Amino acid sequence: MTIEIDTGIVDNQSDNTTYQFVPTSNPAGWNTFNAGAGLWQKWNNSDGDTTGNSLISLSDVITAHTGLNVVRTYLRLGMGNSYYNGGTGTTAWVDKATIGGVTYDFVVGAGSTPTSCTGASITPPDGTTACYSTIQAAIDAADPDETINVAAGTYNENLNIDRSITLKSTSGAANTTIAASGTVITINANGVVIDGLTVTNNSTSGMGIYASDYSNLDIKNNTITNIGNGENDVVGRGVVIVSSASPVDDINITNNHITNITSGLRTGSNSVSAAAIAVGWSTGTADITNLRIEQNTISDINANTSPWSSTKGQGAYGVLINHADHKSFRFRRPLGTCYRP
C-alpha cells in the first residue's frame, strides 16, 4: 500500500511525496493490513527506493504533511519476496479486504471488483458491484429498477423503500432476517419487489410490510412472523396494502409464510384487529384492481381473547379485504377470511 501526498511543483514537474506501508510491521496478522498501527517508509524517488529512510508511523506522516492533500492511495495485492524496490517485507496471498465494515472478496482475473458482500450489494449493468453495510444505505444509493442483493444475516433496521427497486435475499428467507420495532418495511414507491426475506417485530405495534396508495408491487417468498406482542392497543398485521387516497393496481402477494401475528386489547378508539394480509381500509374509497393473493401459508393469527364489545376485543383475520370489485376467492384448505363490500 502506498500514499502519495501533494507536496508541490519543482521545475514544472510534480514533486509529490510517497510513503509505502511495510507489511512486516503489521501487528494484526498476515492477512490483514492495519495501516494505522503498522509502519511506513518514505520513497526517495518514483522508483520506490527507500534507502536510508527510517520506519515511521502513519501519525508521523500526517504530522509531517498537515493540511496537504492525498493525491492517490494504492493497494497492491499479490505475492512474492519484496513488495517494492528496496522493501523489507513480504506480501502473501490476499483474498479479502474489509473496508468500513464491508468485506470484499477478490477472484483471480476479476481485478479488485468485489464479488460478494457481507451486507447488501448493488450490481448495475456494468457489473461493478458496490457493497453496503446496511440495507437502507443500499436502498438510498440505488437507481430505479436496480436489484439490491441481501446477504445472509440479521439486520436490525426499519426500511423505507422510496424508489422502484427489487430487494432480494441471496440465501432465502430462512437465512436472511429484517428485525425492527414498529413497521419493519415501508414502501413509498411504485414498482417494488420484496423477495425472500424474514420480516419480524414482536416488541410493539406495527406491520411487517406496509404500502399506502402505491401500485405494481410484488411481495413473494417471504416469511413474516412475530408481528405484535399482544399488549393493550398493540396492532399486529403482516402485509398491509392501503388504497385510501389513490387507486392501486397490480398487487401480487404470493408464496409467503405468515404466522404468529398478534393484536392486543383495545382501550382507545383505534381498531387493533390482527390480520395476516389486509387490503384497503374500511374508510377507503379508491379502487383496487388486479389484486392477486395466492399460495400463501397463514397460521396463528391472534386477537385479544376478551369478550367482544365496542371497546375491548377485536378480530383476527387471515385475509381481510375492505373494499374491492370483481371478487374471486379460492382456498385449498379452511382459512379465516373476512370481506367487507
Question: Cα separation of 312 and 63, whole Å?
Answer: 69
pLDDT in the model for residue 292: 93
| DSSP helix/strand/coil, 202 | coil
Report yes or no: 47 and 84 within 8 Å, Cβ to Cβ.
Answer: no
* Mean pLDDT of the 242-254 span: 91
Is residue 248 over pLDDT 70? Answer: yes
Is residue 184 over pLDDT 80? Answer: yes
Report yes or no: 197 and 178 within 8 Å, Cβ to Cβ.
Answer: yes
* C-alpha cell of residue 246: 389513490
Of 114, 116, 159, the residue nearest 138 (C-alpha)? 159
Identify the residue with better confidence: 191 or 112: 191
pLDDT in the model for residue 84: 45
List phi, psi (to 5°) of 102: -105, 130
Say what the pTM is. 0.63
Of 224, 216, 290, the residue nearest 259 (C-alpha)? 224
Reported as a single tens digit per residue, the pLDDT across 103-137 is 555 443 333 334 467 788 887 766 667 888 899 99
Of 264, 152, 277, 296, the residue nearest 208 (C-alpha)? 277
Question: Cα separation of 275 and 224, whole Å?
Answer: 12
Report yes or no: 164 and 192 within 8 Å, Cβ to Cβ.
Answer: yes
Is residue 49 over pLDDT 70? Answer: yes
Residues in the chain: 341
Report yes or no: 236 and 270 within 8 Å, Cβ to Cβ.
Answer: no
| DSSP helix/strand/coil, 79 | coil
pLDDT in the model for residue 88: 41
H-only helix segments in 17-95: 58-64
Report yes or no: 327 and 321 within 8 Å, Cβ to Cβ.
Answer: yes
Strand partners, 332: none
Question: Cα separation of 244 and 296, whole Å?
Answer: 25
List phi, psi (to 5°) of 217: -110, 140
For the chain, helix, strand, coil in percent to 5 are 5, 40, 55
Q: How far is CA 123 from the centre of its chain?
A: 14
List phi, psi (to 5°) of 60: -65, -40
| DSSP helix/strand/coil, 177 | strand
Is residue 83 over pLDDT 50? Answer: no
Report yes or no: 156 and 182 within 8 Å, Cβ to Cβ.
Answer: no
Of 251, 132, 236, the residue nearest 187 (C-alpha)? 251
Question: Cα separation of 220 and 230, whole Å?
Answer: 26
pLDDT band at residue 93 under the 50/70/90 scheme? very low
pLDDT in the model for residue 261: 86
Query: What is the pLDDT of the chain when averaged over all its residues?
Result: 76
Identify the residue with better confidence: 50 or 69: 50
Reported as a single tens digit per residue, the pLDDT across 154-169 is 999 999 999 999 999 9
Of 179, 180, 184, 243, the residue nearest 217 (C-alpha)? 243
Is residue 141 over pLDDT 80? Answer: yes
Reported as a single tens digit per residue, the pLDDT across 59-73 is 888 888 887 776 666
